[in-house]
């Protein structure tokens, strides 16, 4: 139990004990932490008793909102029944079997098996490793390079940070590793040439990628990683034609397509998967975050038939499949994820997102005429408001003072509220954000 005296000193204690990601650590030592102690639905409360709308679902993840009793209960029951068991050496347990079956049944493209990990970073790392394993099995060991987008975010292990196209994941960390290449972000309004149509823009970007592939040699490229809609890069929805052309190019050169759906899976874009929204047919698909509504760490890598057959065959030749992680398919995490997917279905979460998206995006679009706003982008319950003035941080701070937690990504204010947000909470989010903009 924390006593009220301790509460006063929590920020100071934090500053002396905890390292924070995406935080200026020297500023943090002076400023201290905002300490959040509880949450319910889309709301969180700090230790001063102030309430906020958590319009970022934490880090794009707490899809069912805070305080979900069913998820807490299922974790409690599973911990008592079988708290842990590994999947190594032919062992398994009921929750992981049911979860894998469920994921296979809802996958947006034909998938053969599911590999589990704990975080999105790990699952992307495994996708990169499985791509290498696959190409070795196919007798093409020289296919080692990866392509992804500038400003993409694929995580922060050594491989997934190399896949990420953001400088903060690289600078002074000696990354990206060689063999990880980044191409132009498919952000039409930012990168289009004067007078260029969306179609011409898409064709130009894909032609550039083709030139890169040909220059490197197609036989050296293992896989192309995409986020169907880019999240942490500032909410970028590529033009429809872009993925159509890109997929044709990858097929032509036999390059694997990995869809990183860590943010977009499970309803966020108005379909169960962002791959469906953006008409993508991945060979490998990564999901995490909303898979358990963030109640417990778990991620999944869906493996398509072509890749799986080769993996199975090669592991037979080698005598075992050498990828293993202690918490792969953890029973408690699996049980919570399975219950999460049940709740999405019972609560018709995809329909709810579709119902609410016009008001959610419309209310932000309505702010386009605000002198501080340059562009409003988004899809489903995912949006970015790019400011005209380079005052992202100030805007996020003002929003917080108005009781609204958002994230500034450069000049873009990101919104990714829990999927269970109500129409009146969406209105309140808009009102609070409008007040923050007015204060700029
Ligand atoms: N991919 C995407 C698209 C992400 O947004 C994130 C995290 N924000 C990751 C991967 C990494 O996931 P994790 O932080 O769980 O490792």
- Mutate which of 232, 273, 292 for ligand 1 pocket (most atoms within 8 A of beta carbon): 232
Tell whether omega for the bond before 176 is within 30 degrees of 0, i.e. cis: yes
| Residue identifier of the C-alpha nearest atom 7 of ligand 1 | 155
Q: Which two tokens stand for residue 411?
A: 């000049």
Average the pLDDT over 102-124 and give the result: 98
Q: What is the pLDDT of residue 390?
A: 87
Q: Is 277 in the pocket of ligand 1 (CB under 6 A)?
A: no
159, 125 in Cβ contact below 8 A?
yes
Q: Is 164 in the pocket of ligand 1 (CB under 6 A)?
A: no
**Residue 370 pLDDT more than 80?**
yes
* Parallel/antiparallel/unpaired status of strands 382-387 and 373-379: antiparallel
Closest atom of ligand 1 relative to the 297 alpha carbon: 15
Q: Which of 221, 226, 231 is nearest to 242 (CA)?
A: 226
Per-residue confidence at 389, pLDDT binned at 50, 70, 90?
confident
**Helices 423-439 and 392-401: crossing angle, nearest 10°?**
120
Closest atom of ligand 1 relative to the 299 alpha carbon: 15
**Residue 346 pLDDT more than 50?**
yes
Q: Is 65 in the pocket of ligand 1 (CB under 6 A)?
A: no
Output the CA 60–ligand 1 centroid distance in Å.
Answer: 9
Q: Is 228 in the pocket of ligand 1 (CB under 6 A)?
A: no
**Residue 136 pLDDT more than 90?**
yes
Closest atom of ligand 1 relative to the 232 alpha carbon: 5
* pLDDT tens-digit readout, 241-257: 999 999 999 999 999 99
Which residue's structure tokens are 């109500």?
Answer: 422
Which whole-number Å values give the CA distances from 46 to 62, 193, 332, in the listed order? 17, 46, 28
Q: What is the pLDDT of residue 5?
A: 55
Q: Is 155 in the pocket of ligand 1 (CB under 6 A)?
A: yes
CB-count burial class (<10 Å; 0-12, 13-18, 19+) for 252? exposed
β-strand partners of 41 = 66
| Residue identifier of the C-alpha nearest atom 13 of ligand 1 | 120
In angstroms, rounded to a whole number, what is the distance separating the alpha carbons of residues 334 and 338?
A: 6
High-pLDDT (> 90) share of the chain, %: 97
**Residue 2 pLDDT more than 50?**
no
Which whole-number Å values give the CA distances from 32 to 9, 20, 59, 168, in the listed order? 10, 11, 20, 22
Does the pTM of the predicted model rise above 0.95?
Answer: yes
Q: What is the pLDDT of residue 1?
A: 40
Which whole-number Å values give the CA distances from 427 to 176, 353, 366, in the listed order? 42, 15, 12
Output the CA 179–ligand 1 centroid distance in Å.
Answer: 21
Per-residue confidence at 84, pLDDT binned at 50, 70, 90?
very high
Which pairs with CB-CB distance under 8 Å and at least 24 residues apart come from 130-135?
Answer: 130/284, 130/301, 130/303, 130/307, 130/311, 130/323, 131/222, 131/223, 131/256, 131/258, 131/284, 131/307, 132/222, 133/311, 133/314, 133/323, 134/222, 134/256, 134/307, 134/310, 134/311, 135/222
In angstroms, rounded to a whole number, what is the distance separating the alpha carbons of residues 376 and 360?
A: 12
Q: What is the pLDDT of residue 329?
A: 98
Q: What is the pLDDT of residue 7?
A: 57
**Residue 417 pLDDT more than 50?**
yes
250, 243 in Cβ contact below 8 A?
no
Q: What is the pLDDT of residue 6?
A: 58
Output the CA 303–ligand 1 centroid distance in Å.
Answer: 18
Output the CA 297–ligand 1 centroid distance in Å.
Answer: 12
**Residue 377 pLDDT more than 50?**
yes
Average the pLDDT over 118-141 and give the result: 98
| Residue identifier of the C-alpha nearest atom 1 of ligand 1 | 154
* Parallel/antiparallel/unpaired status of strands 145-149 and 180-183: parallel
Per-residue confidence at 8, pLDDT binned at 50, 70, 90?
low
**Residue 32 pLDDT more than 70?**
yes
In angstroms, rounded to a whole number, what is the distance separating the alpha carbons of residues 56 and 128?
A: 28
Buried b (16+ CB within 10 A) or exposed e, 67-88: ebeebeebbeebeeeeeeebbe
Per-residue confidence at 405, pLDDT binned at 50, 70, 90?
very high
* pLDDT tens-digit readout, 202-232: 999 999 999 999 999 999 999 999 999 999 9
| Residues contacting 154, CB < 8 A, separation 6+ | 120, 121, 124, 148, 160, 161, 163, 164, 225, 227, 260
* pLDDT tens-digit readout, 167-196: 999 999 999 999 999 999 999 999 999 999
Which whole-number Å values give the CA distances from 296 to 157, 306, 328, 346, in the listed order? 19, 31, 13, 20
Average pLDDT, the chain: 97
Provide the 3-class DSSP secondary structure of residue 38: strand
Q: Is 151 in the pocket of ligand 1 (CB under 6 A)?
A: no
**Residue 152 pLDDT more than 70?**
yes
- Mutate which of 57, 58, 153 for ligand 1 pocket (most atoms within 8 A of beta carbon): 153
Output the CA 160–ligand 1 centroid distance in Å.
Answer: 9
Buried b (16+ CB within 10 A) or exposed e, 311-322: beeeeeeeeeee
356, 381 in Cβ contact below 8 A?
yes
């Amino acid at each position: 139990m924390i006593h009220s005296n301790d509460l006063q000193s929590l920020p100071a204690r934090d500053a002396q004990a905890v390292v924070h990601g995406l935080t200026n650590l020297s500023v943090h030592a002076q400023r201290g932490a905002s300490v959040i102690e509880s949450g319910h639905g889309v709301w969180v409360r700090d230790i001063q008793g102030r309430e906020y709308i958590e319009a970022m679902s934490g880090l794009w993840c707490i899809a069912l909102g805070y305080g979900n009793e069913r998820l807490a209960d299922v974790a409690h029951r599973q911990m008592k029944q079988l708290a842990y068991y590994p999947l190594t050496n032919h062992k398994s347990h009921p929750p992981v079997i049911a979860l894998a079956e469920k994921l296979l049944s809802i996958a947006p493209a034909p998938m053969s098996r599911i590999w589990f990990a704990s975080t999105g970073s790990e699952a992307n790392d495994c996708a990169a490793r499985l791509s290498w394993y696959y190409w070795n099995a196919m007798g093409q060991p020289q296919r080692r390079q990866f392509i992804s987008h500038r400003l993409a975010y694929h995580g922060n292990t050594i491989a997934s940070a190399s896949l990420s196209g953001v400088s903060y994941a690289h600078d002074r960390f000696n990354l990206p590793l060689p063999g990880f290449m980044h191409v132009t972000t498919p952000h039409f309004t930012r990168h289009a040439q004067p007078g260029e149509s969306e179609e011409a823009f898409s064709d130009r970007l894909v032609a550039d990628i083709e030139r890169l592939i040909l220059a490197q040699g197609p036989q050296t490229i293992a896989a192309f990683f995409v986020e169907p809609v880019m999240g942490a890069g500032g909410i970028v929805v590529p033009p429809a034609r872009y993925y159509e052309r890109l997929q044709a190019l990858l097929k032509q050169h036999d390059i694997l397509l990995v869809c990183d759906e860590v943010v977009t899976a499970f309803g966020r874009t108005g379909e169960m998967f962002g791959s469906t929204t953006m008409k993508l047919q991945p060979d490998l698909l990564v999901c995490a975050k909303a898979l358990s509504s963030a109640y417990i760490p778990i991620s999944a890598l869906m493996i398509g038939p072509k890749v799986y057959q080769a993996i199975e065959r090669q592991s037979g030749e080698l005598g075992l499949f050498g990828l293993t992680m202690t918490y792969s398919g953890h029973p408690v995490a699996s049980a919570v994820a399975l219950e999460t997917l049940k709740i999405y279905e019972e609560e018709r979460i995809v329909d709810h997102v579709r119902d609410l998206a016009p008001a959610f995006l419309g209310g932000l679009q309505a702010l386009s005429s605000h002198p501080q706003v340059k562009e409003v982008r988004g899809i489903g319950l995912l949006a970015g408001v790019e400011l005209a003035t380079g005052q992202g941080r100030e805007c996020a701070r003002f929003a917080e003072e108005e009781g609204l937690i958002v994230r500034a990504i450069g000049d873009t204010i990101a919104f990714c509220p829990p999927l269970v947000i109500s129409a009146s909470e969406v209105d309140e989010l808009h009102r609070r954000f409008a007040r923050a903009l007015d204060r700029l």
